[in-house]
Amino acid sequence: MHILHIASEFAPVAKAGGLGDVLLGLSRELHQLGHRVDVLVPKYDCLRMRFLSEMVKTPFTFETDYKGRKIVNSVWEGKYAGLTVTFIEPKEGFFERGDIYGQVDDIDRFSYFSKACADYVSAKGLRPDVIQTHDWQTAMIPLMLKEKIPVLFTIHNLHYQGRCDRYHLDYLGLKCEDIGDPVDARLINFMKAGIVHSQAVVTVSPTYREEILTKEFGEGLDETLRQHQKKLFGVLNGIDVTYWDPGNDPVLPLKYGADNLDGKRRIKEDVKKTLGLSEGEKPLVCSITRLVPQKGIPLIIRSIERTLEKGGQFILVGSSPIPEVAEEFQKLKDFYKGNQDVVMVLSFEHDLVHWIYGGSDMIVVPSEFEPCGLTQLIALRYGTLPIVRRTGGLADTIFDLDKYPETGNGFAFDQSNAPSLDFALDRALQLWHNSRDGWNTVVRRAMSQDHSWSNQAGKYLDLYQKLATKKIYEFA
């Protein structure tokens, strides 16, 4: 099949979170299965070029009507992992801002990108069997395509919706009626438009699919989702096991695997020494996360306190786009200054996190909601046992050891409060202290579990097939 992905991220070249990881992992798997996979992303000035084996500006250019003007776009092609990634560079300078997100005009940057991608499809005469779009940034594609190509829209996180005023539509030459939103014609919602106008909608875990149909998790779109639930599917994310591989990770000073945990032990020593943690046999707990309310900020803070109370050590690698939250964590960092059992790195650290996944014993993921979550899957692969709140994709991937002694791979709790977190964390720390053999048995089990895309890509292919043969209209 021929699949065209259009997205705002592609790891590791343009990554701000899990979305980028999914683009890499799913595309690489589909490519390896022999399908033609094209990927379109913006040409940000902050691309991590060192990952691209080739990057050339093609002679091809095309125009996009925007705000009543014609803007010329250049097209670049880069190669990563056998995939050709196409980068769209508008003359307007929308993507020369030093960062992927966080600009006041993000709505215009990404709606422009969506329109340019629709123009690119026409200008190049592309006829993929299916176009897969990702989150609000590319949700408007079905309204902009001139060709009749089925669109599968992926909801990676329903919280971010691209809500805006109608004048943003004017820039694109669209009208409110095109969106067909009967609820509030003055308030435009890109995510909602994607749900309504795409031929199929996929969320990134089966549990999140069920959750977002409820008022509690629906982020104001539960009614719309219920109306369209026949075309709503839940496909669990995988991880790219070639990129995330402790047996072959170029960032790690040593390689290791389930049959050689000594390497992991030595990486832990290395991490502790380099980051200035005190010596001695202590459990090392980590959190690697965007610091936003979704991720359970009070419980992240609590997990640091509890780990210290129980004689462990903690490493937080987290960055926040919210100034008040960034400030709160800066204060916490100051508070722990001089404490040799805590390290706080308050930035996005592409390379460092590989090492932290490798060197830690446990990771805490106490999310309020979690569409899928990739950190717990990466941690499993690196033999770092997850302690998670049972919600969304965390509920689909982490099984509590006390409940499932033979198959469990971590520790889970239900309520979003300190006693529930403490109970799960305490059980993890207890096992670590009381039985190192027991702990290592579970570590080996976690590392042997298969969370690769090979298990999940087939589910997408099945949907692509139905869309391409128009059977999708049975869903709608």
Q: Is 392 in the site for ligand ADP (CB under 6 A)?
A: no
Under DSSP, the state recorded for 402 is T
- Cα 211 to chain centroid, rounded: 18
Question: CB under 8 Å to 323, separation ≥6 — which residues?
Answer: none
- Among residues 74, 229, 319, 440, which is the contact residue for ligand ADP, using CB under 6 A? 319
Q: Where are the alpha helices (DSSP H) in 93-215?
A: 106-124, 141-144, 167-172, 176-179, 190-197, 206-211
SS (H, E, C) 18-86: HHHHHHHHHHHHHHHCCCEEEEEEECCCCCCHHHCCEEEEEEEEEEEEECCEEEEEEEEEEEECCEEEE
Pairwise CA distance, residues 150 & 360, whole Å: 44
Residue closer to ligand ADP (CB basis): 19 or 131: 19
Name the one range near ligand ADP by CB under 6 A: 15-23, 42-50, 258-266, 447-455: 15-23
> Does residue 252 belong to the site contacting ligand ADP (CB under 6 A)?
no
Q: How far is it, in rounded angstroms, from Cα 216 to Cα 348?
A: 30
Nearest approach in angstroms of CB 357 to ligand ADP is 7
Comparison of 121 and 252: residue with beta carbon closer to ligand ADP: 252
Of the candidate residues 252, 285, 317, 388, the single one contacting ligand ADP (CB under 6 A):
317
Residue with smaller CB distance to ligand ADP, 234 or 318 = 318
Query: Residue 9 Cβ, how far from ligand ADP at the closest point, in Å?
Result: 9
How many C-beta neighbours within 10 Å does residue 376 have? Answer: 27
The H-or-E segment that residue 285 falls in is strand 284-290
Q: Does 242 bind ligand ADP (CB under 6 A)?
A: no
> Smallest distance, Å, CB 204 to ligand ADP?
8
**Window of 43-51, 284-292, 306-314, 414-422 that interacts with ligand ADP by CB under 6 A:** 284-292
Q: Which stretch binds ligand ADP (CB under 6 A): 49-57, 161-169, 170-178, 346-354?
A: 346-354
In the bound complex, what is the minimum distance in angstroms from residue 52's beta carbon to ligand ADP? 19
As measured in angstroms, the least distance from the Cβ of 34 to ligand ADP is: 27
Among 8, 9, 17, 141, binds ligand ADP (CB under 6 A): 17
Cβ 17 to ligand ADP, closest distance in Å? 3
Q: Are 359 and 289 in contact (CB under 8 A)?
A: no
Whether the CB-CB separation of 285 and 388 falls below 8 Å is answered with no
Q: Which residue lies nearer to ligand ADP by CB, 312 or 373?
A: 373
Give the neighbor-by-neighbor strand order of the sheet with 313-319: 342-345, 313-319, 284-290, 362-365, 385-389, 411-413
Give the residue with the Cβ less far from ligand ADP, 149 or 221: 221
- Given the rule CB under 6 A, which of 18-26, 66-74, 101-109, 260-268 is the region that contacts ligand ADP? 18-26
Map residue 228 onto helix, strand or coil: coil
Q: Select 76 or 348, whichever has its Cβ closest to ligand ADP.
A: 348
Whether the Cβ atoms of residue 19 and residue 154 lie closer than 8 Å to each other: no
**Computed from CA positions of residues 398, 399, 400, 405, in that sequence, does the dihedral angle turn out positive or negative?**
negative
Chosen residue from 4, 9, 18, 442 binding ligand ADP by CB under 6 A: 18
By CB under 6 A, is residue 375 in contact with ligand ADP? Answer: yes
Among positions 373, 383, 392, 408, the unique one binding ligand ADP when judged by CB under 6 A: 373
How many angstroms separate the Cα of 324 from the Cα of each of 17, 350, 367?
Answer: 20, 23, 19
Binding of residue 348 to ligand ADP (CB under 6 A): yes
Q: By C-beta, is 210 or 349 nearer to ligand ADP?
A: 349
Query: Considering the rule CB under 6 A, would residue 374 count as an interface residue with ligand ADP?
Result: yes
Stretch that binds ligand ADP, among 14-22, 121-129, 210-218, 333-341 (CB under 6 A): 14-22
Assess 297 for contact with ligand ADP (CB under 6 A): no
Could you say whether residue 350 binds ligand ADP (CB under 6 A)?
A: yes
Per CB under 6 A, the list member of 166, 228, 290, 459 interacting with ligand ADP is 290
Long-range residue pairs from 428-433, CB within 8 A, at least 24 positions apart, any chain: 428/283, 428/362, 428/385, 428/387, 429/283, 429/307, 429/310, 429/311, 429/312, 429/362, 431/401, 432/283, 432/361, 432/362, 433/283
358 binds ligand ADP (CB under 6 A): no
Closer residue to ligand ADP in complex, CB, 119/370: 370
Angle between helices 418-434 and 297-309 (to 10 degrees): 40
The CB-nearest residue to ligand ADP is 18
Residues near ligand ADP (CB under 6 A) are: 17-19, 21, 288-290, 317-319, 348-350, 353, 372-375, 378
